[in-house]
Structure 1
Amino acid sequence: MDRRLGIAALFALMILRTPVAFAMLAVGYGGMYLLQGSRAASAVMVTQSYQAVSNYDLIVVPMFVLLGNVASEAGFSRALYDAAFAWVGRFRGGLASSSVLGCAVFSAVSGSSVATAVTIGKVAIPEMKRFGYGDGLSTGAIAAGGTLGFLIPPSTGFVLYAILTQQSVGRLFMAGILPGLLLMGLFMAAVAVIATLNPEAGPRGQHVALRERLILFGRAAPLLAIIGLSIGGIYVGAFTPVEASAIGAGLILLLAVGLRRLDFRGFAAALVETVRTSAMLYMVVIGADVLNPFLAVTHIPDALGQALTAAGLGSYGTLALIVLGYVVLGMFLDSLSMLVVTIPIVFPIIQTLGFDPIWFGVVAVIVVEMGLITPPVGLNVFVVRGVAPEVPMMTIFRGVTPFLIAMILGLLLIIAFPGIATVIPNSMFGR
C-alpha cells in the first residue's frame, strides 16, 4: 500500500465528514492489514486500543469536563460573568471585555473551547444586545474568547498533545498560563481599539458601586478558589494534574449541592454531557494510537523530515512552513482532528530541529485555536451562531477578524520570546 494513498484516504474520509476517530481507525487498521496482514492489524487494534484507554493521564479529561459542566448547570458561570462585568463593564467596550475575561476564567474550569463559547455566550450576548453593542463585536468577542478554552489549563488540547508526544501534562498545563493571559490581554486590547474607532459598536455599560462589585466578586469567589486550588496545587507540587482534576470536580460538586444550586436533573445533564465529551475524546485517542503504527511502518514522518531538510529552509523557516500548514488545515479541519493527525508527523521534525517540545505544544495549540475562528469551518463561529441565530455568519466572521490579528501577534511574540511559554514549567520542574 502506497503511503501517500493512506494519507489521501485519511483526508478524504474526513472531508466526507467521517468522524476523525473512525477515519483514523479505518486507515490505521486497513493500512496495517494491507501491509502486514490480518494478524498484525488485529494485534495493533487490540493492544493500541487498550493502551489508549488505560492511560492514567487521560483521567483529567472526564474530571475537568465534569467540573465545567457542573459549574455551568449550577449557574456559577453567570456569577463569573456578572463579577467581570461589574469591574470592567463601565468602560467603553466593557461588556465585550468582560465577556473575554469571563471566557478566560471559565476556560480554567472547562478545558473546552466549545463549552466556553456556549456557556459565556448564552449569558453575555443577550446582555450586549440589550446595551446596544454591535453584532460583530459581541459575537466576535465570544467566538475568540472561547478559543482560550483550548489553551488555558486544564486544556484538552494539551492532554492530547501530551499523550501523542509522551510529554508531561503538568509541564504543558503550566506552559499555557502566561500565553493564555497574553492572548486574553490582546483580545481585550482589540476590544478597546474597536470601541475607540467605532464608539457605537461598544458603548459604556452602567457604573456599578464598589459595594455591589465586592458582593458580585464574593459570589464568584468560591469557583475562583477552586480554580486557584486546582491550578495552584499543580504549580506548587502539592498534587498531580490527575489529582487536581479529581479534587476540583469533587469540590465543585460539594459546593453546588451545599448551596442548593444543583438538583438531580441538572446533575444528570452534567453527567450525560461529560460522558458524551469524554467518550468522543477517548475515541479520538484510540484512533490516533491505531494510526501511529501505520505511519511508523510507512516512514511518512521520516520522509517528510528529509524533504524539509533538503529544502534548506533552516530551523525557523521550517517552523514557519509547519505553522502555515496548520493555518491552511485549520480552514477545513476541526482542532482535535488537526492535532491527532499532524502531531505524529511533525513532532519528530520539531525534535530534529532542536525546538523545545513543551514550547512547540503551546505554538501548535495556538495555531489550532486560530482554526476555530477561521472560515469556512470555524467551529466556534458556528457555535456562536447557534447562540445568536439572528446574526449573519459573515457578520460573525468579520467580527472575529481583529481577534484573529491579535492571535497572530500573540503567536509571533511567543515564537520570538519562547520564555513566555517555558518560564513557569522550567521554574517548577527544571529544564
Structure 2
Amino acid sequence: MSPELVGTVGLALLLGLLLMRVPVAFAMFAVGFCGIWLLNGLQAATGLLSSETFALASNSELIVVPLFILMGNVASVTGMSRKLYDAAYATIGQVRGGLASATVIGCGGFAALSGSSVASALTMGRTALSEMDRFAYSPRLSTGVVAAGGTLGILIPPSTGFVIYAILTEQSIGRLFMAGILPGILLLTAFLLTVSILCAIWPSMGPKGPSTTTSEKGRAFLGAVPILAVVFITIGGIYSGLFSPTEAAGVGAALVIVIGAVSGNLGPRAFWEAARSSIVTTASVMLILIAAHLINPFVALSHLPAEVSRVLVTLDLGLYGTLLLILAIYLVLGCFLEGLAMLVLTLPIFMPVVTDLGIDPIWFGVLVVLTLEMGLISPPVGINVFIVKSVARDVPLIDIFRGVMPFWFAMLVTLIILVAVPQLSLWLPGMM
C-alpha cells in the first residue's frame, strides 16, 4: 500500500470517527499512531508518542491557554461579563433593536476576556435572552444574535483559536492577536448593521427598551471600567511590547482575581468553580495539541501535502483562486466538524501550499479563524446554535438556525472584505 493511499484512508477514517462523535483527541491519537506505525514502524510511533507528549507539556508558551481561560471563567463567575452587557444596554437599549445590539457588544466584550465562542454564547445567552424575551423580542432575533455574537470569541483577542493556529504553524501569538483586532471590530460592526436592517424591515422583531437616565448610564459604565481596564492592559501590553502574550495572560488572570476578591464577588466556592472549569478545558486543549503532533508527522510521511500542492499547481488558479478554494473547503467542513479539529486536520496539508504561494501566514490565520467562526453557526452542526438551544429550550431549533442566517451572510461579507483588503489584518501587526 502506497504512502499516499495510507494517508488518504487514514484521513477518511479520522473524518468518519469525528462524524461519529468520537472525541477529537482520541480519534487523532488512534489514526496518527496507527498511521505512523504502518508507514515507519512501531518504534517510531511509540517514540513520537512519548517525545511529543513531553515536548508539548513542557512548552512554556502554552501557559497562555490556561491563564486566559481562567481569566474568562473568573470574569464569568464574578459577574464582570454581566457588567459589560449592562453598560452596552444602558447606552443603546432604548432604541429599536437596542437590546440585540447591546447583546452583540456584550458578546464582543466578553469574548475579549474569555477567548471562547462557546463560553460567550452560553454566558450571554443566560444573561440576555431573558431580557429580550421580557421586552417581546422575536425569538429568532434574540437567539440568532446570541449564537452569532458568541462567535466573536474566537476572533477578538485573546483568542484560543489564534493560540492553536500559532502553535500548529509556528507563528507569533502576539502578532496574531493584533491581527484579529480590526477584523473583530469590523465583524462586530457588521452584526450591529444586520440588527439595524432587520429591525428597520420588521420593526416588531426588536421593540424599543426602556430609557435610562444619565446617572444610570454613568453607573453602568463605572461598573464596566475594571473589566475594560483589564482588556486595555493585557492587549495594550502585548502591542506596546511591555508584555509577551504569556506574561499578558498572567497579568490578566491576576487582575480579574484581585478585582473579584476586592469586590467580594470571588469567594472560595466561586474560585473553585472557575479553576475547575479552567482545568477541564485546558486538559481538553492539551490532549488535542498532543494528538495533533501525531497527526502532523503521519500526514508528512504520507506525502499528501506534496500531492495536494501538485494538484493545486496543476489547476493553475493563481494566488486568490487557490486561497478562495481553500476557504471554500473550510466552509464546507465547518458544517460538520468542530473548529479545532478542522485546524489540526487541514493545516498540515494547506500550510505548505500557502507558503509556496507566498501568502502571509498571519493574514491566512485571520481568514481561517473567521471561516471557523462561520462553521460555529452553520447547519447541521453549528455548535453555538445548540449551546443557545440549551438555554432557550422553548425555541425550535429551526427558528434559531433561521435567526442566525442573516448574521452568517454578514460574516461572509466580512470575509470577502478581509480577502480583498489584507492590510485590515496586517496593519496592526506591522506596527508592533
Per-residue Cα deviation, 1:327-348 (whole angstroms, up to 9, x for no partner): 1101100111111111111111
Please say if residues 89 and 95 of structure 1, whose CA atoms lie closer than 8 Å, have aligned partners that are also in contact. yes
Quick one: which amino acid aligns to residue 374 of structure 1? S
Distance 2:280 2:69 in 1: 10
The runs of at least 4 aligned residues of structure 1 exceeding 6 Å deviation read none
1:308 paired residue among 299, 309, 312: 312
Partner of 2:334: 330
Please say if residues 74 and 256 of structure 1, whose CA atoms lie closer than 8 Å, have aligned partners that are also in contact. yes
Partner of 2:368: 364
Please say if residues 300 and 348 of structure 2, whose CA atoms lie closer than 8 Å, have aligned partners that are also in contact. no
Quote how far apart the aligned CAs of 1:165 are. 0.3
Q: Does 1:260 align with 2:264?
A: yes
2:351 paired residue among 331, 347, 350: 347
Per-residue Cα deviation, 1:236-270 (whole angstroms, up to 9, x for no partner): 11110100000010011011011100111111110
Q: Does 1:160 align with 2:183?
A: no
Distance 1:404 1:350 in 2: 26
Partner of 2:200: 196
Report the TM-score, using the length of structure 1 for normalisation: 0.98
Partner of 1:29: 33
Quick one: which amino acid aligns to residue 89 of structure 2? F
Quick one: which amino acid aligns to residue 148 of structure 2? A
Partner of 1:236: 240
Please say if residues 125 and 388 of structure 1, whose CA atoms lie closer than 8 Å, have aligned partners that are also in contact. yes
Q: Where does the alignment leave 5 or more consecutive residues of structure 1 unmatched? A: none
Quote how far apart the aligned CAs of 1:290 are. 1.1
- Percent identical among aligned pairs is 50
SS in 2 for 1:154: coil
Report the TM-score, using the length of structure 2 for normalisation: 0.98
Quick one: which amino acid aligns to residue 205 of structure 1? G
Distance 1:206 1:164 in 2: 48
Partner of 2:210: 206
Q: Where does the alignment leave 5 or more consecutive residues of structure 2 unmatched? A: none
Per-residue Cα deviation, 1:225-245 (whole angstroms, up to 9, x for no partner): 011100111111111010000
Distance 2:177 2:59 in 1: 17
Partner of 1:176: 180
Q: Does 1:130 align with 2:98?
A: no
Quick one: which amino acid aligns to residue 199 of structure 2? A
Quick one: which amino acid aligns to residue 70 of structure 1? V
Quote how far apart the aligned CAs of 1:55 are. 2.1
Distance 2:16 2:405 in 1: 29
Distance 1:285 1:163 in 2: 9
SS in 1 for 2:124: helix
Distance 1:300 1:22 in 2: 22
Distance 1:425 1:6 in 2: 37
Quote how far apart the aligned CAs of 1:107 are. 0.6
Partner of 2:68: 64
Per-residue Cα deviation, 1:262-316 (whole angstroms, up to 9, x for no partner): 1111111101100111111011100101111111111111111111111111111
Two-structure CA RMSD over aligned residues (Å): 0.8
Please say if residues 49 and 290 of structure 1, whose CA atoms lie closer than 8 Å, have aligned partners that are also in contact. no
Partner of 1:151: 155
Q: Does 1:317 align with 2:321?
A: yes
